[in-house]
Structure 1
Amino acid sequence: MNVEVRGLMKSFGQNEVLKGIDLDFRSGQVYGLVGRNGAGKTTFFNCLAGLEKHRGSITVDSGRLKDRLGFLQTEPYFPSKLTGREYLRLFCKARRVPDEGLDEQNVFDLPLDRYAQQYSTGMKKKLGLLAVLLQRNGFFILDEPFNGVDIHSGLLITEIIRRLKGEGKTVLISSHIFSTLKETCDTIHVLNEGRITETIGKDEFDRLEHDMVAFAVGNRLDALRF
């Protein structure tokens, strides 16, 4: 699905977090969003998901974005005394899609009959991802999808993102692991102090990675004695 964002602004009191975001997201494309902590990534995602009121417009080619959006948050919320299986069924019911065959579709081998709150950080992330996948959404926001997962699950998530792209879905990813963005994204947007300062294609990913390393490291290690 295609999504158009124009003049998106968000403030918390006197703190202006998003300062006029203009972006286009197209079907069958994977987009990355990078920025320092506090740049406004999570606020931007929350605005897209309809969790935060904002100024500016978000339009889609058909229907309402929130009705076709799968939002994997950095730390998904799990109600108490709800098993993994019940959590998946709840998400399916919200989109009125069948919830049969959950064991067969449990690609992460999660203990679905255990309470979700007892899961490890990585298991919670995988359960949250599986839930939004089962909903058959058209637009996916994946906020740190690789956070806390093991290497094998990371490879599986990478392949899932590629499959979503192949199915014509639209995917927006935030990740602190730049290599995962290089492997999956068609375009990377750089968010800095509430503004999109760069939009980078595949041919410039290496340059962007170099710039990010140079900024993050600089000469900070010179004074450190190993």
Structure 2
Amino acid sequence: MIETFRLTKRHRAVAAVDDLTLMAPDGRVTGFVGPNGSGKTSTMRMVVGLDRPTCGTASIDGRPLREHRAPQRVVGVLLDARSAPGGMTARAHLRWLAAAGGLPDRRADELLEEVGLAPAASRRIAALSLGMRQRLGIAAALLGDPGTFILDEPVNGLDPDGVRWVRQLVRRLAADGRCVLISSHLMAEMQQTADRVVVIGAGRLLGQFDIGDLAEGTSLEDAYLSLTAGAAQYRAGVTGGPRR
């Protein structure tokens, strides 16, 4: 389970995350959505200890991640698939991460097969497409067989087959009793994937609800646009069009 309580992150006068309290339970896929710049990635980074909160708390299974002895076995994380070192091969990268977590090399090889990258295992990461890097990032998140997953825009760059594969994967992980927190800007896809949704804007909680509680005939996109109407920092078509 992921929990934040009054989580806040300020950069000088700007609040990237502002007094945010949310919960992502075990056994469910929680969609984490909001406009560009709403604080989703900042929140995820604080949950996994990459950024220090200005105030408030973030925990996984009741404790900050730094207090867990084997982080890879607690949480699998995909924040930016482009951050993997381009000079390494896909296999070397996963084996390096496995060694850091005290896991055997064979775990890396098993996951390359599972995510469909076995044919590209010897290619340098810089030569991989964005979609292939996303698959590699998901393999890295799966390495420690953790109980919690935090995935930031995991379907970005994937083809329709890859999008369906991610959807089926996260549904299976939740069915196994794991906690999955997943962000996306694709509301139609999120409606098919998530059990519940947390909506934020300008760093603050705007709403949270189960997908099944949407009114008949109301799409997740409709609900999202209604909640974020005053929170979108960059929205086209609201200034009367271009000047002539």
TM range (shorter): 0.7 to 0.9
In structure 2, relative to structure 1, the CA distance for the partners of 1:171 and 1:20 (3 Å cut) is same
Q: Kindly report which structure 2 residues correspond to 1:96-111, keeping only aligned pairs within 5 A, or say none.
A: 96-100=102-106, 102-105=108-111, 106-110=113-117, 111=120
Q: Secondary structure at the residue paired with 1:46?
A: helix
Give the corresponding residue for 2:222.
Answer: 210
The one-letter code matched in structure 2 to 1:61 is: D
Q: Are 1:26 and 2:38 counterparts?
A: no
In the alignment, the residues of structure 1 paired with residue 56 and residue 102 of structure 2 have an alpha-carbon distance, to the nearest angstrom, of 30
User: Which residue of 169, 172, 186 corresponds with 1:177?
Assistant: 186
Contact 2:47 2:60 in 1 (8 A): no
2:133 to 124, 127, 131: 124
Alpha-carbon distance between aligned partners in 1 of 2:100 and 2:63, rounded to the nearest angstrom: 16
Supply the AA of the counterpart residue of 2:202: E
Name the counterpart of 1:9.
8
Shift of 1:101: 5.7
Matched, 1:59 2:59: yes
Q: Which runs of 5+ in 1 are unaligned?
A: none
Match of 2:173 among 145, 164, 167: 164
Which of 82, 90, 96 is the matching residue for 2:96? 90
Q: Which of 70, 75, 83 is matched with 2:76 structurally?
A: 70
> What percentage of aligned pairs have identical amino acids?
32
Q: Are the aligned partners of 2:2 and 2:59 in contact in 1 as well (CA < 8 Å)?
A: yes
TM-score (norm 2): 0.82
Kindly report structure 1 stretches of 4+ aligned residues shifted beyond 6 Å. 216-220
1:24 positional shift: 1.8
1:79-119 CA deviation, whole Å, 9 max, x = no partner? Answer: 24210001111222222222316444323332010001110
Q: CA deviation at 1:134?
A: 2.0
* Pair 1:61–1:132, CA change in 2 (3 A): closer
DSSP 3-state at the match of 1:181: helix
Aligned in 2, Cα 1:60/1:157: closer, same or farther, shift over 3 Å? closer
Q: Displacement, 1:65?
A: 2.5
- Shift of the alpha carbon at 1:46? 0.9
Name the CA distance, whole Å, in 1 between partners of 2:38 and 2:48. 18
| Unaligned stretches of 5+ residues in structure 2 | none
